[in-house]
Structure 1
Amino acid sequence: MTTNTEPALHKSLGTLQLWGIAVGLVISGEYFGWSFGWASAGTLGFMVTAIFIAAMYACFIFSFTELTTSIPHAGGPFEYSRRAFGPVGGYLAGFATLVEFVFAPPAISLAIGAYLNVQFPALDPKIAALGAYLVFMGLNIVGVQIAATFELFVTLVAIFELLVFMGVVSPGFSVANFVKGGWSGEDAFSLASVPGMFAAIPFAIWFFLAIEGVAMAAEEARDPKRSIPIAYIAGILTLVVLAIGVMLFAGGAGDWTQLANINDPLPQAMKLIVGDNSGWLHMLVWLGLFGLIASFHGIILGYSRQIFALSRAGYLPELLGRVHPKFRTPHLAILAGGIVGIAAIFSDELITFGGQTLTANIVTMSVFGAIVMYILSMASLFKLRATEPGLPRSFRAPGFPVVPGFALLAAVVCLVAMTYYNPLIAGVFVGLMALGYLYFLATRSRRAVRAATAV
């Protein structure tokens, strides 16, 4: 329920813009991050992991769409879990979503810096990352219509660039290159290959991470019940095709071990084919920035709406729930998430541990938030089917309960594997959740007052 005095967001988004947000939120995952999975699983092992994760996401999106269209709220997963499991469920889902969306942008901004560093070696990637934050926080503050239109444009350019990349490296593509050492460094599969495949799960998730962020724009959609299912389904299909294509062509371009553990695998893969000074390489770097910018810009939109919704519901300081009087955007929420992300960029000593790079650890932290949120969202779907059978559902999850059940089970498997292979990051995640829960308990009376005054 809402109150008459609650700040309102502007309803202006159509189906094509929502599809642009769905793909744009994720498409940076095609440009970087995923290749860290090659380091532990090899090309073939990681392909198996990625196909499993793609199946999980397809089932998740078909199921999640039911929640998004039934409860078109800026809080997205936070609101679904709060409705299904009460305030504590809302807190857990809200915290997890916040971690996912606040920690993804610094990883992407570092990749933006790495891409620019290819063109300008004297430019510090971290300074470039800081500049990206300042520019795109400002653009998101100016207005959601402008932000969404820009998101659609850069997403289309990013897709075009991925297709160009595949076309340029295709003459040098070799299956032999792709399969050499494809099972954790070995040429043949064995049981020793399995641990690496599980360890690579976070980087396969990075291919699709944040597509669910469309739910946080649902409150600003003109016709969410019609446009969101189309945007989600078309979006996940687009991303699966691109992910498989990028993996195959990059891995077949040459020695794929040179592309693991770096932030710019596509330019480096193209170098193996066209050399260091080709015009194609320079074009890829410049246009490749559009893919990173699309996700960076879109996730800023996502985290700001999550902060806004949590604040409006009394889970975060009330100040963060304010809407700009002119632009009707949650400007303080945009700035708050940006401050956390910028701090992460410059926190090498705190975030670089466990033998992984700064970017790899930030990616893994973001994925922890995503997986916990997926589990709670699917649990909410089952709970609401039982407790609110009369809830208007313009879109119903196909294959219920098998499809959402598979998504739930797969997410649990991912969480267990990630915790086993990343115990330090899991500990940090749980520690932050515990601190947040103390704040949640301390502000219980404020939420009770808000609920009592709701009309």
Structure 2
Amino acid sequence: MSTSPPTGSHTLKPVLSTLQLWGIAVGLVISGEYFGWSFGWASAGTLGFMVTALFVATMYTTFIFSFTELTTSIPHAGGPFAYSRRAFGPKGGYLAGAATLIEFVFAPPAIALAIGAYLNVQFPSLDPKTAALGAYLIFMALNIVGVQIAATFELLVTLLAIFELLVFMGVVSPGFSVANLVKGGWSGQDEFSLAAIPGIFAAIPFAIWFFLAIEGVAMAAEEAKDPKRSIPIAYITGILTLVALAIGVMVFAGGAGDWTQLANINDPLPQAMKMIVGENSGWLHMLVWLGLFGLVASFHGIILGYSRQIFALAREGYLPAFFAQVHPRFHTPHRAILAGGVVGIAAIYSDQLIQFGGQTLTANIVTMSVFGAILMYILSMLSLFKLRRTEPGMVRPFRAPLYPVFPAIALCGALVCMATMVYYNPLIFGVFVAMLAVGYVYHLATGHQRAQPTDAAPAVKPALH
């Protein structure tokens, strides 16, 4: 089954520390604390969405503890693609790779639009789409310059983003009211009834947005100095950090005032703070500026994630080999970075194609990204079960705790999420399936150019000092 590991222009440098990997894990996701999640309030209400979020947090926590086993056993830039290919062969690899690619390519345009919305608060004449385009150009360039620089920047902005979320909670806390939080908290009703249940399920994509893309650390595994030790630490501390922040943000934003005014906008935190301190407060302006760090952290980190996925798929023949080239000076997959950016920018300017089903452009992009994520989670957990059975002797530096309970909880949670999302978003699901089908046609047409799955991660160059 093995082939010679790639060398030369197809290798990445192992330079990332444990702290940098933690910064990537949290940074990939932390924009989800700033926007996107509040769309779930529109259908579930504050209390109903809390139920949704706790269910999804349980799924993610068990998933990360299980997924870490795969990441440390098979440290590969393709992440889920490599695990599913190892377990289920080329077709499994294709499906997981395509799903991950959709997740990571469609998440950045949603974040870029939120960056534009935040800047529009300060500069009303600035078109949010123009700001989103500028964000793409700046952070693609930064990712091309080098992974060490990119990861250090990611760590810095992640720390600033966490600090700002804590500042938000502190500033709104004097005006916090439990009455505001619970009013209409069950899909618009003050009391729970069975009528609230559909809204709780419909809000699942936006609860997932709180944690979406944390698994992207797997795609930096080839660039970690000591992946078998550092990745488990980064994943576990990362998910615990994000769960705590998600609960805090939901509670304090919901109790700041009339939460219904925050349910369908891209900048819920500045608007929530405005309810407490007014439009002209220096706190509000600080939140807008520092809040950008949270969006930038995720945007920048997910560019790193999608580029490694495109790179890995191209290196193994699932995408054109053109995208598998590493920059001769910066040792980064520059063509893959640019390719994902082109797709994301096209999504930003494709209102008529993506804005349908009664939802905003951002909500639809978020939902598309979540479809890719959930399919990947399902395939990853199935891969874990399969590899435990077929390769019991595989070296597993980290083993999923409480196996098979944790991966079973994660798998069942992902299946529930997928079924619910298909029911409430049939049009977007149809587009998602069509994209997978088109990709599969290419997969069949190019089967002759693919190597067999390797038994281990590709070799990497020693770090240059």
TM score, norm. by length of structure 1: 0.98
- Other-structure match for 1:189: 192
Cα 1:4/1:318, change in 2 over 3 Å: closer
Residues 75 and 216 of structure 1 are in contact (CA less than 8 Å); yes or no, is this contact kept in structure 2?
yes
Which residue among 384, 390, 393 is the counterpart of 1:387? 390
Q: Give the letter for the 2:35 counterpart.
A: F
Cα shift readout 1:57-91 (whole Å, capped 9, x = no counterpart): 00000000000000000000000000000000000
Using the alignment, how far apart are the partners of 1:51 and 1:298 within structure 2?
A: 25
Cα shift readout 1:17-44 (whole Å, capped 9, x = no counterpart): 0000000000000000000000000000
Using the alignment, how far apart are the partners of 1:263 and 1:38 within structure 2?
A: 13
Residues 133 and 342 of structure 1 are in contact (CA less than 8 Å); yes or no, is this contact kept in structure 2?
yes
Residues 317 and 451 of structure 2 are in contact (CA less than 8 Å); yes or no, is this contact kept in structure 1?
no
Cα 1:77/1:2, change in 2 over 3 Å: farther
- Other-structure match for 1:435: 438
Which residue among 281, 295, 318 is the counterpart of 1:278? 281
Using the alignment, how far apart are the partners of 1:449 and 1:419 within structure 2?
A: 34
- How far does residue 447 in structure 1 lie from its aligned partner after superposition? 1.1
Cα shift readout 1:175-229 (whole Å, capped 9, x = no counterpart): 0000000000000011100000000000000000000000000000000000000
Using the alignment, how far apart are the partners of 1:60 and 1:68 within structure 2?
A: 12
Cα shift readout 1:253-312 (whole Å, capped 9, x = no counterpart): 000000001000000000000000000000000000000000000000000000000000
Residues 26 and 208 of structure 1 are in contact (CA less than 8 Å); yes or no, is this contact kept in structure 2?
yes
Residues 86 and 453 of structure 2 are in contact (CA less than 8 Å); yes or no, is this contact kept in structure 1?
no
Cα shift readout 1:347-399 (whole Å, capped 9, x = no counterpart): 00000000000000000000000000000000000000001111100100001
Which residue among 419, 424, 438 is the counterpart of 1:421? 424
Using the alignment, how far apart are the partners of 1:45 and 1:424 within structure 2?
A: 25
Root mean square deviation, CA, Å: 1.2
Q: What is the count of residue pairs matched by the alignment?
A: 453
Cα shift readout 1:117-170 (whole Å, capped 9, x = no counterpart): 000000000000000000000000000000000000000000000000000000
Which residue among 152, 155, 164 is the counterpart of 1:152? 155
- Other-structure match for 1:26: 29
Which residue among 169, 175, 181 is the counterpart of 2:172? 169
- Other-structure match for 1:406: 409
- How far does residue 449 in structure 1 lie from its aligned partner after superposition? 8.7
Gap regions ≥5 residues in structure 1 = none
Which residue among 219, 237, 241 is the counterpart of 1:238? 241
Which residue among 230, 233, 239 is the counterpart of 1:227? 230
- Other-structure match for 1:254: 257
Using the alignment, how far apart are the partners of 2:163 and 2:267 within structure 1?
A: 18
Which residue among 213, 217, 232 is the counterpart of 1:214? 217
Using the alignment, how far apart are the partners of 1:222 and 1:183 within structure 2?
A: 48
- How far does residue 3 in structure 1 lie from its aligned partner after superposition? 3.2
Q: Give the letter for the 2:129 counterpart.
A: K
Using the alignment, how far apart are the partners of 1:207 and 1:423 within structure 2?
A: 22
Residues 322 and 331 of structure 1 are in contact (CA less than 8 Å); yes or no, is this contact kept in structure 2?
yes
Cα 1:63/1:298, change in 2 over 3 Å: same
Using the alignment, how far apart are the partners of 1:23 and 1:448 within structure 2?
A: 34
- How far does residue 2 in structure 1 lie from its aligned partner after superposition? 4.0
Residues 70 and 394 of structure 1 are in contact (CA less than 8 Å); yes or no, is this contact kept in structure 2?
yes
Which residue among 74, 77, 99 is the counterpart of 1:74? 77
Aligned ranges 1:355-374 → 2 under 5 Å = 355-374=358-377
Is 1:101 aligned to 2:104, yes or no?
yes
Cα 1:148/1:191, change in 2 over 3 Å: same
- Other-structure match for 1:3: 5
Cα 1:286/1:243, change in 2 over 3 Å: same
Q: Give the letter for the 1:324 counterpart.
A: H
- How far does residue 446 in structure 1 lie from its aligned partner after superposition? 1.0
Aligned ranges 1:319-398 → 2 under 5 Å = 319-398=322-401
Using the alignment, how far apart are the partners of 2:450 and 2:157 within structure 1?
A: 40
Q: Give SS of 2:393's match.
A: coil
Q: Give the letter for the 2:418 counterpart.
A: L
- Other-structure match for 1:117: 120
Gap regions ≥5 residues in structure 2 = 460-465
Cα shift readout 1:379-427 (whole Å, capped 9, x = no counterpart): 0000000011111001000010011001000000000000000000000
Using the alignment, how far apart are the partners of 1:237 and 1:312 within structure 2?
A: 34
Q: Give SS of 1:73's match.
A: coil
- How far does residue 5 in structure 1 lie from its aligned partner after superposition? 3.7
Residues 316 and 451 of structure 2 are in contact (CA less than 8 Å); yes or no, is this contact kept in structure 1?
no
Q: Give the letter for the 1:182 counterpart.
A: G
